[in-house]
Structure 1
Amino acid sequence: MKVDAFDFTLPPERIADRPAVPREAAKLLVIREELSDHTVADLPDLLAEGDLLVFNDTKVIPARLRGKRRSAKIEVTLHKNVSADSWHAFAKPAKKLKVSDIIEFGDGFTALVTNKFEGGEVALSFSASGPDLMEKLMAHGEIPLPPYISSLRAVDEQDKSDYQTIFAKDEGAVAAPTAGLHFTEALLEKFRARGIDMVTTTLHVGAGTFLPVKVDDTDDHKMHAERGFLNAETARKINEVRARGGRIVSVGTTSLRLLESAADESGVLHPFEGETDIFITPGYRFKAIDLLITNFHLPKSTLFMLVSAFSGLETMKAAYAHAIAEKYRFYSYGDCSLLYPKP
């Protein structure tokens, strides 16, 4: 499909730079044959007993580093962990770097450029590894807010908690699974009281999720791979819920991409550990989920293509037009939607 088919105009004032307080006070648009306006706090009543929520428990690391290569200022955003001391990263300005350059971040913390790729991507080997590297990132890095937020304001201490879900435990993401940001312990208790269960999976979201689609046709776009894990017990539980007629509700497109990667053609989930670069566009046949909870996405983005595949392109364009008119807040810190599949 032509990428321009997924374009729409978003007024800049609709971009959220802080989350709603409390988190479940965010607006929620239910998208099906007819649209209806709610808040996230209404979700327990919008779902049914026996449904199962699937969350992503990845934890965002301080993946943005500012350093120097001799006198040149360099900013890198880690996006893919390769080994205990090695990452792929997006560098700015990448043209100032060459293989064998050393970037200094301070306090004896450095990285060697071991390779360069297209699109400003580099391979880095750090002077620290494993837990020591994580300590250095905590000391020198910052939360990698998406560019549409960091261009509005500076990252601050509040983002360290705002940009993590309450499920965050498995370190490795450089972007938050933002649909999960709306959930609080009080809201989870309401789900439990309604007989709605919850499980977690892990997909380490990469910075590639923010990269613009630079081709004219979706067939020519290549997704960045992200590493995910689905254990046998969670796969079994999800399969059992579906077998008895319960619905699988994916909280976020990251959980959806992992579940679809782990499902066979009949929709049965199997344990999964590895990378997925699944790219979902209209025409894709969904196998593993029944409903999707997700935020509002960028024009011509792979995520808007995904939700258009799930609910239908014209349905999603109408829903986004409604959301803009009703002053919904967009993107990572913005409001939320509950999507039904297209008939």
Structure 2
Amino acid sequence: MVFPGADGVTSVPESHLPAGFLGGRRDGVKLLVVDRKGGAISSDIFMNLSEYINEGDLLVVNNSRIIKASLSAYFPRLGKYGDFNFGTSRKGGMVLAEPRPKELNRDLRANDEVQLIGPDVSAKLIRKHEEFERFWWIDPGVDGNNLMTVMKSYGKPITYSHVAFPVSEDEYLTEFSRVPGSVEPPSAGIPFTEEVLDDVEGAGAEIAELTLHCNLGSLEFFEFSKKERLLNEEYSIPGRTLRKMVETRSNGGRVIAVGTTVVRALESYALENSIDYREEGSYEGSTDIFIKRGFNFRAVDGLITGMHDGGSSHIDMISALVGPEMLQTAYGLAVQWGYLWHEFGDMTMIL
């Protein structure tokens, strides 16, 4: 199967700016509705999301908030400037980071000094990641708490080339963003507005939360697929959310994940625990789960997500949920209907 955007095979229309920059509303993006059981595929506007929600459904959202994890940097041995994008992974005083632009990686060596611009801090490259050579374990030159302070004062959101110019942290925040920790945005929540949430609850559905802090995810096409794992990510699921899932299922409702991050957290939990868990408190865990075709979904019945490039881990997950043939058809129609890709683009709802 060849999906739009897969390794440059088919170009896709990209969203280069948030909706507000274009004079639009966050909830004014398109919504591709895929009925995986009935086979119907249709197009709507995201503000009409509640029309596809049933009474008794449960939407589970990720309340992680993005942090400004990209710092401008100077690489003295190379005489070049770039960025250092910091991840969430820590190991023995080292922090995972990715130098950008990616071409820098060809010439970097262990023990290279990196001068972080602004805070006047010198970091040092220690070694490449054990599996993903795009990433480095580094000594950041400050301890973890001070690194967070440095990023808050001097950092910027991690941004990739499809975005026309750097945008503020606020553009990545959602109605649910409460717990700082993601270095890349859990962007499926971006189109949700107060009006959309009111309509969803008015349709008789409920909203529950969990936290998964997104790690770095900028690997080139198929690199995660070849390893069949992602970088490790920490998550926390409140007991209330787990109880609501049990009640929803027992009453015939659907558990709908808002974003692939929610799917990873819930399905990782379900692999290790009975889904009828009802205790108070929260379940803390970590996951590097890679969901592909043939996966047995235990926790979720539907998914609300963005438009993803072929070759990404997101496509593998969606293909596992809806089937590759239907996904191929749906994405083909999305291209015909003028859908826009990436975090500020249009949305997909799979039920």
TM class by smaller structure: 0.7 to 0.9
The answer to whether structure 1 residue 316 and structure 2 residue 327 are counterparts is yes
Give the aligned residue type for 1:76. F
The question of 1:137 aligning with 2:151 is answered yes
Q: Is the 8 A contact 1:60 1:164 kept in 2?
A: yes
Distance 1:204 1:6, change over 3 A: farther
Matched, 1:36 2:48: no
Stretches of structure 1 that go unaligned for 5 or more consecutive residues are none
Q: Structure 2, unaligned stretches of length 5 or more? A: none
The residue matched to 1:333 in structure 2 has which SS?
A: coil
Which AA in structure 1 matches 2:151? L
| Alignment CA distance shift 1:265-1:73 (3 Å) | closer
CA contact (8 A) 1:292 1:339 kept: yes
Q: Is 1:225 aligned with 2:232?
A: yes
- Asked if 1:334 is matched to 2:310, the reply is no
Deviations 1:48-92 (A, max 9, x none): 111111001111111112212323434221123316964201124
In 2, distance between residues paired with 1:219 and 1:240? 38
1:155/1:248 CA distance change after superposition, 3 Å: same
The code of the aligned residue for 1:144 comes to I
Deviations 1:304-339 (A, max 9, x none): 111111011010110001000010111111101110
Provide the TM-score with structure 2 as the length reference: 0.86
Would the alpha carbon gap of residues 25 and 279 (structure 1) be closer, same or farther in structure 2, given more than 3 Å must change?
same
1:266 and 1:287 in contact (8 A); partners too: no
Deviation of 1:266 after TM superposition, in Å, equals 8.8
Distance 1:301 1:177, change over 3 A: same
Closer, same or farther in 2 for the Cα pair 1:245/1:16, shift >3 Å?
A: same
Identity among equivalent pairs (%): 28
Which of 183, 189, 194 is equivalent to 1:180? 189
Question: Taking structure 1 as reference, are residues 40 and 51 closer, same or farther at Cα in structure 2, changes over 3 Å only?
Answer: same
Q: Are the aligned partners of 2:3 and 2:331 in contact in 1 as well (CA < 8 Å)?
A: no
Shift of 1:210: 4.6
CA distance 1:220–1:207, shift in 2 (3 Å): closer
Aligned partner letter, 1:205: C
Provide the residue aligned with 1:167 in structure 2.
176
Three-state SS of the structure 1 residue aligned to 2:342 is coil
Cα deviation, 1:9-66, whole Å, max 9, x if unaligned, reads 5765610012333111111011121111111111112101111110011111111122
Contact 1:250 1:256 in 2 (8 A): yes
Which of the residues 55, 78, 85 maps onto 1:77? 85
SS of 1:182's equivalent in the other structure is: coil
Using the TM superposition, name which of 53-62 and 118-127 deviates more. Answer: 118-127
Q: Which residue of 79, 83, 95 maps to 1:87?
A: 95
**Against the structure 1 CA distance between its residues 129 and 139, is the aligned structure 2 distance closer, same or farther, given a 3 Å change threshold?**
same
CA–CA distance in structure 2, aligned partners of residues 209 and 333 of structure 1 = 16
Separation (CA, whole Å) in 2 of partners of 1:78 and 1:339: 32
Match of 1:7 in 2: 3
| Corresponding residue to 1:115 among 109, 119, 127 | 127
Task: Flag the 1:335–1:282 CA change in 2: closer, same or farther, 3 A.
Answer: same
Counterpart position of 2:57:
51
